[in-house]
A = this chain, B = another copy of it.
Amino acid sequence: MTRDWNGSAISGVTAGVTGMERRAARRILETRGDLRMRAVLWNGEEVRISDEPALARVVFRDRGVIPYLALHPEVGLGDAYASGRLEIEGDLVTALKLFFGHPEQRGLLRRARDAWRLWDRRSHSLRRARYNIHRHYDLGNEFYALWLDERMAYTCAYFPTPSSSLEEAQLAKMEHVSRKVWLRPGDRVVEAGCGWGALALHMARHHGVTVTAYNISSEQVRYARELARREGLADRVEFREDDYRNVRGRYDAFVSVGMLEHVGDENYAELGRVIDRSLEPHGRGLIHSIGRIQRRPMDPWIDKHIFPGSYSPKLEEMVGILSPHDLAVIDVENLRMHYEKTLTHWLERFEKNAAAIERRFDARFVRIFRLYLAGAIASFHVGNLQLWQVVFQRTRSNDLPWNRARLYVPKG
């Protein structure tokens, strides 16, 4: 029986749909979807696997989509959505929460595929790393300005309350990070992967430190330098267009917010060595990164369209960067729900500017970015992704705060 979106029966226009196609659509709902999803075929016919009220409908716009999905099990759904051959009726984020909430397949095939993908990755040479970063972060500062906050912070914010604004939350994040590494006036700070420079400038402005910030996105560095000049901080914040592996000098604090995802786990040992040689004996550090509970390769669609060469580590792997150098973890905080909230703000702003973005790029670009943002919201919501801030210092150093209460003192 066919039903429309509200559940009313539609008289049978099932022509042009074979039984095999119908079974394939049902199979997609069963293996990757949810009881509360429906599939809608190109002739309007609805396929369901339960009588629970529908929360979302997946619309196959043409009959070619089904074999396409079978041929491309990894990126097919995303690519069909990007091209508009597959549509989601109902809220996209809700639909993706249903997709991602599906018990993950732990079968042999899945595990073998994951293992292969973890092995079969390009190494992050300096050149490849630069290409990976360029691909995403050099899409144009004007584009990012359309949906990030006014400071262009492109990492998980820290919402004082769930209803705080994105601007407040990005400011609170920078303050939270500064307090976590216990900045004191005169400290020399190195930042690995500084985005558009917001955190570096915040630390210099509000904590009286000097910052050397590294980034291999030329667009971001250009923007950050201009900002430092305009804000009169150019003498205290130096932006270097260079790889974290080329960090030189000794510092009182090391911070890295949202870079680890691009490092590639084959370089974690080197990152550990970089931190070790950069940090004074009394130095503190913080790594802020998206992570996962289980070791899994990056989603292939995200790897293809959004973040080539990215990887979300387990907490064990993050800690493992530090242990070989006797760097002791003193604080870990999981901000998964704050990233869901951050992304929700981004998607809302993105949608408000979708027409402008489509003019700048094209409809496919808009759909790719929409799927990426909505998918990330869903992933943090269902706990497929975590966000960990890990604070550390040398185990031999006793120059550490007595407790964490200072993080929660209202800013005077």
Interface residues of A (CB under 8 A from B): 101, 158-162, 293-294, 314-316, 319-320, 323, 326-334, 336-337, 381-384, 386, 388, 394-398, 400, 402-405, 407-408
Contact = CB atoms under 8 A, between A and B. Distances in A.
A162 B401 CA distance: 11
Nearest to A406: B408
A383 B404 contact: no
Given A398-B337, A402-B337, A408-B405, A323 B329 contact: no
Contact of A326 (B293, B388, B407): B293
A222 to B, nearest CB: 35
12 contacts: A160-B403, A293-B323, A293-B395, A328-B334, A328-B383, A328-B386, A329-B332, A330-B334, A331-B333, A383-B394, A383-B395, A386-B395
A329 B323 CA distance: 18
Contacts of A398: 337, 381, 383
Contacts of A294: 323, 326
A382 B402 contact: no
A314 to B, nearest CB: 6
Contacts of A386: 328, 395
Main secondary structure of the interface of A (DSSP, over half): mixed
A316 B330 CA distance: 13
- Copies held by the complex: 2
B161 A402 contact: yes
Contacts of A162: 402
Nearest to A172: B403
Contacts of A336: 328
Contacts of A319: 314-316, 319
A329 B396 contact: no
Contacts of A332: 329, 331-332
Given A328-B383, A383-B396, 5 more contacts: A293-B323, A293-B326, A294-B323, A315-B323, A331-B332
Contacts of A293: 323, 326-328, 395
Contacts of A160: 403
A31 to B, nearest CB: 19
A293 B326 CA distance: 6
Nearest to A327: B293
Q: Which 3 A-B pairs have the closest CB atoms?
A: A383-B395, A332-B332, A330-B334
A201 to B, nearest CB: 24
A337 B401 CA distance: 10
Given A161-B402, A162-B402, A323-B294, A331 B329 contact: no
A369 B336 CA distance: 45
B333 A388 contact: no
Nearest to A380: B398
Contacts of A320: 316
Nearest to A101: B396
A333 to B, nearest CB: 6
Nearest to A341: B402
Contacts of A337: 398, 400, 402
Contacts of A396: 101, 382-383
Contacts of A388: 329
A187 to B, nearest CB: 21
A316 B314 CA distance: 10
